[in-house]
Amino acid sequence: MMCKLQIRARFSSFLLAASMALLVFSSLCSQYIGGYGNRSANYDIWVYYFAAQTVAKNPHAALYGNDDGQNPQAYAAPLDSELARHAAQAGLPRIMRFVYPPLLADALVPLSRVTLDHAVAIWRAFNLLCIFATTLMIARTVRVRWVSFEFATLTLAAFSFYPIHETIYFGQIMIVLLALWSLSVLAYQEGHIVLSACALAFATGLKVTPILAVSLFVLWNDRKWLLSYLAAGTGIFAALAAINGTETLRAWVHILPSMSGLEPAAVNKNISSVLSWIYYGRLFDQDSMLMVISAPPPMLMIAAKVACAVFLLGCLYPVWRNRMRMGRDERGIAMAVIALATITVSPVSWRHAYALASLPLALVWARTLRQSAPVWQSLLLALTTVSLGTPIFDRAAAMTVSPFAQVFFASVWVMSSVAFCLTTLWSPAFVWDPAFRKSPLIPRLFEPDSRLLIQK
């Protein structure tokens, strides 16, 4: 029996080493060989910057422009909007629309007081600090020392993860959300319930999808967390109403339905996109998808909503079934896995949104190495790590192959995420044996003596 466990442990360690090698190799190739494509693309930080300038000049300004019924994610801001006028003054004739809650624009008002180039540099530096802070929090969550080989491996993985590279390149908000999710998980595991709830409430104020995690605490009947989240959320909402005005909040709520349809670009990785690719038998780029989102088939829309709902229920059911036996460790992993699930069901989940996946992947890798998981689970974990952490399958989808093969390669990103979430939560070993809670990691491929010291 012990021999079988040792073989599993060594195999998991080998898969971790192979996955790490692919992540680092892909990162180096992207930086020094492949690049990131069109260097003139609109940075997300540009949108945030000019939105911050808009509210800095007039907090009650029409931040979202006039609602024309179009999906604001796919079209540029109207030329007569406040956002576009600020961008034009800076020499940018075209800027995408601002679609986030006004909290993001308010929070970045200090950044809007410097030049655009300086703002981009400051924002990237801040994101790098957030990545390192997140790495520290994840290390504490999985109980590894900050001065250790394991922490160095975790840091290298974080800075090699492809969605994190894209997030930094485009100046997106996902790394900040990753830090807030990680803080919420760590705080909850260590018994700081109010801090955990406030961190996730602030994340919800920046991007709506974290609100789906509230369902976990309803299942666990954690009233303290729910009341703290409600109080923090109400406070944030009241502050936004006082600062930006109720009309701005109403305009933001009004554009939400227009962002809930289909947007099946090849880089929009979610369940709805996969169903669209299968339905049409092809992939779409940013331009060709406009034909689809203008008149999506009603049955396809319904099928996408049903598939997302079934997937979420499939994730929540094992949490409810094991609710009485789950300790803080299991609940923390469930929170992290649901974070990834929210990305797959969101109507708009560009590739960089999967920076959030680094949290559940790190936690599940630690559990896998400690528990000597079955071979098939280790293989799925490695596949998910590689498919999300590198552009390998997207590069394969861009090759001159059949449309079926292109759809298959592009879908691996989403389907591996779905399989990872379900198998993690449905695994019989999800509720840990107490003997494993403080056992050391078993990276025997790296350290045959297993000298890792565990923090108590």
Residue 454 belongs to some domain of the structure: no
Task: Find the mean pLDDT for residues 88-97.
Answer: 84
- For residue 456, being part of any structural domain is answered with no
- Is residue 450 domain-resident? no
What is the DSSP code (8-state) at residue 65? -
Strand partners, 265: 284
* Range among 24-28, 298-302, 405-409 with highest mean pLDDT value: 405-409
For residues 34 and 56, state if they share a domain.
Answer: no
Q: Which residues contact 117 (CB under 8 A, 6 or more apart)?
A: none
Domain boundary among 110, 132, 158: 110
Say whether both 226 and 351 belong to one domain: yes
Residues in the chain: 456
E strands, 219-296, in order? none
Q: How many domains does the chain have?
A: 2
At 449 the pLDDT is 35
pLDDT score at 66: 64
Distance between CA atoms of residues 144 and 137, nearest Å: 10
- For residue 252, pLDDT over 90 is answered with no
Mark whether 127 and 272 lie in a shared domain.
yes
Instruction: Examine residue 409 and state whether it is found in any structural domain, yes or no.
Output: yes
pLDDT of residue 68: 59
Contact 10, 445 (CB under 8 A): yes
* Average pLDDT for the chain: 85
Q: Looking at the predicted structure, is the pLDDT value of residue 456 above 50?
A: no
Q: Give all strands (DSSP E) within 355-423, no chain letters.
A: none
pLDDT at 248 over 60: yes
**Range 57-86 average pLDDT:** 77
Contact 206, 176 (CB under 8 A): yes
Residues 33 and 73 in one domain: no
How do residues 110-142 score in pLDDT, each as one tens digit?
998 999 889 988 999 999 999 999 999 999 999
Per the model's pLDDT, the better-predicted residue between 32 and 53 turns out to be 53
72 and 207 co-located in one domain: no
Burial group, residue 299, by CB count within 10 angstroms (0-12, 13-18, 19+): exposed
Q: Are residues 96 and 127 in the same domain?
A: no
Which residue type, as a one-letter code, is found at position 155?
Answer: T
- Residue 320's pLDDT is 94
Q: What is the pLDDT of residue 38?
A: 44
Where b means 16+ CB within 10 Å and e means fewer, 32-71 reads: eeeeeeeeeebbbbbbbbbbbbbbbeebebebbbeeeeeb
Highest average pLDDT, of 368-372, 409-413, 443-447, comes from 409-413
Q: What's the whole-model pTM score?
A: 0.89
CA 378 to chain centre: 22
> What pLDDT, on a 0 to 100 scale, did the predictor assign at position 453?
33
| Of 50-54, 260-264, 324-328, minimum mean pLDDT range | 260-264
> 455 lies in a domain?
no
Q: How confident is the model at residue 243 (pLDDT cuts 50, 70, 90)?
A: very high
Model confidence at 282: pLDDT above 50: yes
From the CB of residue 25, how many other CB atoms can be counted at a distance below 10 Å?
A: 13
Inform me whether the pLDDT recorded for 257 exceeds 80.
Answer: no
DSSP H/E element including 135? helix 116-141
Same domain, 308 and 290: yes
In this predicted structure, the answer to whether residue 293 has a pLDDT above a threshold of 90 is: no
3-state secondary structure 263-306: CCECCECCHHHHHHHHHHCCCECCCCHHHHHHCCCHHHHHHHHH
Instruction: Say yes or no: 195 and 55 in one domain.
Output: no
Task: Report if residue 446 sits inside a domain.
Answer: no
Residue 29 sits in the same domain as residue 162: yes
Determine the average pLDDT of the residues in 31-47.
62
Residue 133 covered by a domain: yes
Q: Is the pLDDT of residue 430 over 70?
A: no
Shared-domain flag, residues 219 and 103? no
Is the pLDDT at 452 greater than 80? The verdict is: no
The 10s digit of each residue's pLDDT in 400-426 is: 889 999 999 999 999 999 999 999 999
Distance CA 25, CA 186 (A): 30
Using 50, 70 and 90 to split pLDDT, how confident is the model at 37? very low
The alpha carbon torsion through 75, 76, 80, 83 (nearest 10 deg) reads: 120
Tell me which residue range forms the domain holding 77. Answer: 42-110
281 and 141 fall within a common domain:
yes
pLDDT at 72 over 50: yes
Is residue 444 included in any domain, yes or no?
Answer: no
**Whether 103 and 118 share a structural domain:** no
Q: What is the pLDDT of residue 117?
A: 87
